[in-house]
Every structure is written in structure tokens, then in C-alpha cells.
Amino acid sequence: MKQKVAELFVILALNPEKGRVAINDVHFRYSLTGAMIMDFLDQGEISIENKRIVPHFHNTVNQGHDFLADKIMKSKKNRRLSFWIKRFSYKNRFFFKSIIDSLEIDRIVSIEQKKFLNIIPYNKYWIKDRSVREKLIETLRGVLVYGKEPGKREIMLLGLVEASRAYPLLARERGESKLMRKRNSELLKGDIMSSEINEAIKEVHAAIISSVAASSAALHGSH
């Protein structure tokens, strides 16, 4: 998988038949910010100390990456993962566009501009190379259904699958989502990576979950 973690998460999230994101909006919003942070971790641009982000960034050509990196670098103190995930969830459309633009350049996704009632513009996102998504799904299914050993990036993606409740995107038959979630929960609780990576993945996952829970509670409380 040559794509970055956040790119792979977006590829998984897209419905290839409808050209739009198939994950609940609240779950996707926080999980996408978490995916960006997973990329920083995967590329060695951050480390996690006492549940706080310690930055080691370099510049890229990706606007979403550089925006988030710049904000973290300019912070007067090293903040907790949960702070950044909550703080920048509102930028999810900006992050999504930066990732989609990158996937379009790589010719994995094409963007179709449309108008609702010939007035309101919106986009459809079509996966041109469906084999990328199919291979990704098979890789994750291999871990959750067939017990294959996951690598670091597979664990990161599985943490995002749990946080975003994206199991239906991996399931092939009725009842499989529940079984995969049980297996994934056991996997994410285990010590499968080096201690630093393991703890960092767990922290990102926990921060996403707590942010989704807080957002859902606020939404229900407003009714």
C-alpha cells in the first residue's frame, strides 16, 4: 500500500457506486483528523510522550498536512492528541479536499462537479482504480476474518475502522460486522507493535472515540 494512511482511509470511506462518503458524518469528521495524525506518526513526524504530541515536522506539497503541522508547531506547549483532534475536526472538508486532490493526481479518484436543481454545486468522487480499494478491504479482512498478522499501517487503519464504525464497508455477509468488531477490539487492546507505536495508536483511537462521544452527547442534549 503506497498511499498514506489518511488516503487509504478516504478510499475505504468512499462508496464506489454513489461517489460519496459512506461513513456517518460525525464519525468521519473526527476519524479523518485522526487519520492525518496517524500519517504524522507513520512518517516519524511526531512522537507521543505522556499522551502529548512532540513535533518533528518537515514541509510537504499537501495543504492539509502543512496546515495541521504548522498549527501544532506554533503551539506554545505540547498538547494532548485529543486536543488536536477536537480542535481541527471542523477543518475536515479542507483535509478531505487535500486528500482527494492528491488521489486525483495519482489517478485513483476522479472528481465530477454537479449541481443540485441546477443551482447548488456539489461533487461526486469516483474511484477510478477500484483494485486499490478492493485490495485494501481484502487486507483488512485478512486480519479480522482470517487472523493474518497486521503491520503497523494495518493496525492504524483498523483503529480508524473501529473509531468510525466502518465495519459494514468490510463485511461480505450478514453478521460479519459484529464478528469483525469483536476481533478488532481484541486486537487493538493487545500489544502488537513496539510500545511507543502501540501506545500512540491507542491514544489516537481513544481521542477519536471520546471526541465522537462528546459531539454525540452535545447533539442529543440540544434536542
pLDDT in tens, 93-124: 999 999 999 999 999 999 998 887 878 888 99
80: DSSP letter:
B
Q: Are 144 and 170 in contact (CB under 8 A)?
A: yes
Q: Which of 45-49, 134-138, 165-169, 207-211 has the lowest mean pLDDT?
A: 207-211
> What pLDDT was estimated at residue 193?
61
What domains, with CATH codes, occur in the chain? 5-221 (1.10.3630.10)
Confidence bin at 189 (pLDDT 50/70/90): confident
Q: Are 48 and 41 in contact (CB under 8 A)?
A: yes
The total number of residues written for the chain in this structure: 223
pLDDT 10s digits, 44-85: 888 888 778 888 877 666 788 888 888 888 888 888 888 888
All residues at 6 or more sequence positions from 82 whose CB lies less than 8 Å from its CB, including other chains: 206, 207, 210, 211
31, 160 in Cβ contact below 8 A?
yes
Coil/strand/helix, residue 82: helix
Who's near 99: CB < 8 A, 6+ residues apart? 6, 7, 10, 32, 62, 64
- Provide the pLDDT for residue 128: 92
Q: Are the C-beta atoms of 57 and 73 separated by less than 8 Å?
A: yes
CA distance 197 to 176: 28
Res. 204: pLDDT tops 90: no
